[in-house]
């Protein structure tokens, strides 16, 4: 490692010393792990807790607060004595040694542990530092690209990827002084806390929306919903979607004619029905010489084909659509936001009914025959506006979450060597 590589691109003020580099084995000693599957664990009671590799890969972040993470109990009380010398402590790290992709080797640092003794489980490699590290430093560093890329050429397997203790022993661990480690750990832990906060807000809003979609539309055979806004008492009427909308699909210009592409007309495809940007643009010539059709901003867009079948969007831009999208324009007296909300509510039922096993496509004729309950225009507008504002709030938290995740990724790239 060159002298210049011994310091990261970003450092906290006041730290100037070069970072130290040591072999993994000089920094850690391995502990024993058990081989219990999920069947040997439970969420109710036991004398010991277990850290499972699947939770490291999917559930846990870089650092684990075992007091809050509901670690499962080990059902068989005779297991613990066999691992008396490997009971986990705060500051230990655990690697998941197996995954279906290159996330093998993902690590978690233990910061707080439950009152019950805790041991490391199936497909894990627990390790204990031989000397103190700053709180949070190891969890973030051992999951950074700076460290993880050392593991990539050492991974084995095709369908299932694994990392061995020997592979870990072949890696180098880099770290600054203890005070700088603690500063790095504290900063990244704070970002993790913000990410967790916004993730919870986002999850709660998604659950709330799902609940409201169920309760603000009538159940089968009923003429009024379970929850209504004040002032509305009239029963809803059964109608077919084709009776209250005009609809059309578009087409795709011949890709062999380069003059049809690269113009100024956004070409909206089914994966872009909720986006204000498109990858492709058409020329006027491409539009005129194809079945592609223009939709105005605010049009309800319904995906008919492929992986996005049943997805619903409101056109954020004026553009042309292809044959995989059905544009729905409500007749006067009907609200597009309400119709979009109902179609989102019914997505699973529609897909399950008409795309058994994920095969086949939806069509304009199928969609137009869909029957649904319809209130008066004013109630439609209130319901549509409610779900639109809720969607905007969900999108806001999603963007904040993505921003924080991007900030963390950037810091992980620049705060380690």
Name the E strands within 292-387: 293-295, 300-303, 312-314, 319-321, 325-330, 371-374
Antiparallel, parallel or unpaired: β 73-74 and 107-112? unpaired
pLDDT the model gives residue 3: 42
Residues of the chain with pLDDT under 50: 1-5
Q: Is 363 helix (H, G, I), strand (E, B) or coil?
A: coil
pLDDT the model gives residue 1: 38
Give the C-alpha separation, 77 to 235, whole Å.
60
Q: Which of 273, 258, 363 is nearest to 319 (CA)?
A: 273
Q: What is the C-alpha R_g of the chain?
A: 28
Q: Which residues, in sequence order, are CB contacts of 76 under 8 Å at separation 6+?
A: 40
DSSP letter, residue 156:
B
DSSP letter, residue 242:
H
pLDDT the model gives residue 143: 96
pLDDT the model gives residue 220: 87
Give the C-alpha separation, 412 to 417, whole Å.
10
Percentages (nearest 5) of helix, strand, coil residues in the chain: 40, 20, 40
Q: Which of 386, 379, 381 is nearest to 232 (CA)?
A: 379
pTM metric for this prediction: 0.81
Q: Is 184 helix (H, G, I), strand (E, B) or coil?
A: helix
Q: Is 284 helix (H, G, I), strand (E, B) or coil?
A: helix
H helices within 83-177, ranges in order? Answer: 137-141, 145-151, 165-169
Tokens of 177: 């002084």
Q: Which of 155, 187, 180 is nearest to 170 (CA)?
A: 155
Whole-number mean pLDDT of the chain? 94
pLDDT the model gives residue 4: 42
Q: Is the dihedral of CA 152, 157, 163, 165 positive or negative?
A: negative
């Amino acid at each position: 490692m060159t002298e210049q590589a011994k310091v990261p691109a970003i450092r906290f003020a006041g730290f100037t010393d070069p970072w130290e580099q040591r072999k993994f084995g000089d920094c850690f000693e391995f502990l024993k792990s058990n081989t219990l599957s999920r069947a040997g664990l439970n969420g109710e009671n036991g004398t010991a807790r277990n850290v499972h590799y699947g939770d490291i890969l999917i559930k846990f972040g870089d650092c684990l607060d075992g007091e809050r993470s509901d670690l499962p109990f080990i059902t068989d009380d005779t297991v613990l004595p066999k691992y008396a010398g490997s009971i986990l402590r705060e500051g230990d790290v655990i690697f998941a040694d197996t995954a279906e992709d290159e996330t093998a080797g993902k690590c978690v640092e233990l910061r707080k542990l439950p009152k019950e003794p805790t041991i490391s489980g199936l497909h894990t490699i627990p390790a204990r530092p031989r000397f103190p590290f700053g709180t949070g430093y190891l969890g973030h560093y051992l999951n950074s690209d700076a460290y993880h890329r050392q593991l990539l050429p050492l991974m084995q397997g095709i369908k299932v990827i694994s990392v061995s203790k020997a592979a870990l022993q072949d890696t180098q661990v880099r770290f600054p002084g203890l005070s700088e480690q603690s500063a790095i750990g504290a900063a990244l832990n704070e970002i993790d806390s913000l990410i967790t906060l916004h993730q919870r807000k986002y999850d709660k809003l998604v659950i709330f929306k799902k609940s409201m979609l169920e309760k603000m539309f009538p159940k089968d055979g009923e003429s009024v919903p379970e929850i209504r806004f004040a002032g509305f008492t009239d029963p809803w009427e059964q109608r077919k979607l084709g009776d209250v909308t005009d609809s059309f699909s578009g087409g795709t210009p011949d890709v062999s004619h380069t003059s049809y592409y690269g113009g100024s007309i956004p070409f909206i495809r089914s994966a872009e029905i909720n986006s204000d940007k498109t990858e492709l643009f058409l020329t006027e010539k491409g539009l005129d010489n194809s079945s592609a059709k223009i939709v105005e901003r605010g049009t309800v867009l319904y995906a008919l084909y492929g992986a996005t079948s049943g997805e619903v969007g409101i056109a954020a831009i004026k553009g042309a659509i292809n044959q995989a999208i059905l544009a729905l324009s409500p007749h006067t007296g009907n609200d597009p936001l309400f119709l979009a909300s109902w179609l989102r509510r019914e997505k699973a039922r529609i897909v399950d009914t008409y795309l058994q096993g994920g095969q086949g496509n939806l069509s304009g004729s199928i969609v137009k025959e869909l029957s649904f309950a319809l209130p008066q225009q004013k109630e439609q507008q209130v319901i549509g506006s409610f779900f639109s504002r809720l969607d905007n709030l969900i999108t806001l938290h999603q963007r904040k979450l993505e921003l924080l995740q991007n900030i963390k990724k950037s810091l992980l790239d620049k705060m380690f060597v």
